[in-house]
């Protein structure tokens, strides 16, 4: 078991995609930083014991690390977009989160700092299922667990110039993403029929940062992402880990970038190699008011009796005198 104290550059990244779990461990003392990699199948995604069993096996194959861990997930039906929140106060950010939850049903957000800019990534996914996976990962023995949207993790390791990215993680689990300066503009899960898995393709054809500003409907976002991805030219630039190129392992190798790209991005975040990272914030469910009345109030008389008179209070002087002078006992015979 690896029990040495974690330093910057040490971390664990896990990708949960469909019925597969992939994991890597980074170490600052290892050449190339990659210390271990693994891939395990989940017998039943809906069974907690099966998921925990697969995570326990991943942890054992990674050396049972006691290191910060990030879990990257992006289940089918998920999408994300970003909004510029540079200069907004905490109160204004909380108001924006509440509006996203009330108007668009988006309860999960992530703040991302990128140079002088700050972006709010709004993630549309099943929040209950995400919390379940986080809890099961902790139950399997991983420590300091945080959840990442898979596109956000992937954006940390693709070349900084990459703008159009497609990731086919497993049968039925494919993600397309548009990025700018290393931060996703928009991403969504897409149809994976006819795609080879695992695979990763990306291009460097530039896309305007404000392309998705007026798009809020997931269907419209997905359609526009698909169009932009199909128009892009593919690039052969290697993945980057802390500004160092990741080796081009063959596709059948467990360490290959096609297999571990998302887990690598999650591990880079856990190891502190991607700057300041914040966890996913989830807005708690609101307490619904009665139909047709947002604030029902009722006033009722509860008593007609006059208020009780306050008991007489003994002043500080009387208290002091009563302590100093002995009390006269009523049963002592008088002279």
264 touches 239 (CB < 8 A)? yes
Predicted pLDDT of residue 301:
66
For tokens 């703040």, the residue is 111
Q: Total structural domains in the chain?
A: 1
Establish if 309 belongs to a structural domain.
no
Provide Rg for the chain, Cα atoms. Answer: 29
Question: In angstroms, rounded to a whole number, what is the distance separating the alpha carbons of residues 25 and 66?
Answer: 11
In this prediction the pTM is: 0.80
DSSP string of 92-148?
HHHHHHHHHHHHH---EEEEEEETTEEEEEEEES-HHHHHHHHHHHHHTT-EEEEEE
Establish if 329 belongs to a structural domain.
no
Establish if 32 belongs to a structural domain.
yes
190 touches 174 (CB < 8 A)? yes
Establish if 49 belongs to a structural domain.
yes
Predicted pLDDT of residue 290:
44
Structure tokens at 199: 């695979």
3-class SS of residue 316: helix
Tell me the β-bridge partners of 81. 122, 186
Question: In angstroms, rounded to a whole number, what is the distance separating the alpha carbons of residues 213 and 81?
Answer: 9
Establish if 76 belongs to a structural domain.
yes
Predicted pLDDT of residue 286:
47
Residue closest to 123 by CA, chosen among 158, 89, 155, 147: 147
- What residue numbers bound the domain in which 165 lies? 11-278
Question: In angstroms, rounded to a whole number, what is the distance separating the alpha carbons of residues 99 and 102?
Answer: 5
pLDDT tens digit at each of 335 positions of the chain: 554 566 888 999 999 999 999 999 999 888 889 999 999 999 999 999 999 999 999 999 999 999 999 999 999 999 999 999 999 999 999 999 999 999 888 999 999 998 889 999 999 999 999 999 999 999 999 999 999 999 999 999 999 889 999 999 988 889 999 998 889 999 999 887 778 889 999 988 888 888 887 777 778 888 888 888 875 557 778 999 988 999 989 989 999 999 999 999 999 999 999 888 888 998 865 434 444 545 555 666 666 777 777 766 777 777 777 777 665 554 555 55
Question: In angstroms, rounded to a whole number, what is the distance separating the alpha carbons of residues 27 and 157?
Answer: 16
Predicted pLDDT of residue 289:
42
Count of other CB atoms within 10 angstroms of residue 317: 8
Q: In whole angstroms, how far apart are CA 296 and each of 10, 102, 119?
A: 54, 20, 38
Establish if 313 belongs to a structural domain.
no
Establish if 182 belongs to a structural domain.
yes
Establish if 327 belongs to a structural domain.
no
Predicted pLDDT of residue 325:
67
Cβ-proximal residues to 277 (8 Å cutoff; 6+ apart), any chain: 146, 269
Angle at 55 between CA 62 and CA 65, to 5 degrees: 35
Torsion of CA 96, 115, 177, 218, to 10 degrees: 10
């Amino acid at each position: 078991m690896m029990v040495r104290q974690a330093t910057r550059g040490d971390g664990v990244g896990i990708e949960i995609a469909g019925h597969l779990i992939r994991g890597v461990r980074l170490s600052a003392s290892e050449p190339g930083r990659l210390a271990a990699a693994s891939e395990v199948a989940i017998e039943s995604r809906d069974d907690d014991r099966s998921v925990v069993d697969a995570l326990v096996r991943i942890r054992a194959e990674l050396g049972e690390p006691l290191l910060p861990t990030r879990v990257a997930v992006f289940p089918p039906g998920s999408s994300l977009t970003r909004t510029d929140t540079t200069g907004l106060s905490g109160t204004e950010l909380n108001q924006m989160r509440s509006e996203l939850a009330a108007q668009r049903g988006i309860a999960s957000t992530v703040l991302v700092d990128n140079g002088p800019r700050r972006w709010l990534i709004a993630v549309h996914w099943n929040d209950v299922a995400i919390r379940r996976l986080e809890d099961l990962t902790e139950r399997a023995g991983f420590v300091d667990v945080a959840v990442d949207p898979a596109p956000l993790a992937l954006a940390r390791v693709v070349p900084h110039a990459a703008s159009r990215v497609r990731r086919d993680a497993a049968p039925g689990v494919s993600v397309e993403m548009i990025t700018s300066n290393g931060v996703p503009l928009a991403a969504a899960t897409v149809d994976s029929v006819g795609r080879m898995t695992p695979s990763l393709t990306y291009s460097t054809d530039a896309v305007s940062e404000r392309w998705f500003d007026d798009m809020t409907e997931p269907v419209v976002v997905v359609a526009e992402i698909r169009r932009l991805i199909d128009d892009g030219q593919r690039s052969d630039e290697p993945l980057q880990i802390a500004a160092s190129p990741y080796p081009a392992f063959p596709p059948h190798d467990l360490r290959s970038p096609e297999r571990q790209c998302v887990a690598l991005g999650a591990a880079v975040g856990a190891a502190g190699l991607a700057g300041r990272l914040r966890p996913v914030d989830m807005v708690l469910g609101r307490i619904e008011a009665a139909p047709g009345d947002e604030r029902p109030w009722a006033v009722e008389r509860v008593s007609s009796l006059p208020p009780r008179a306050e008991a007489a209070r003994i002043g500080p002087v009387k208290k002091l005198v009563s302590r100093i002078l002995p009390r006269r006992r009523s049963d002592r015979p008088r002279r």
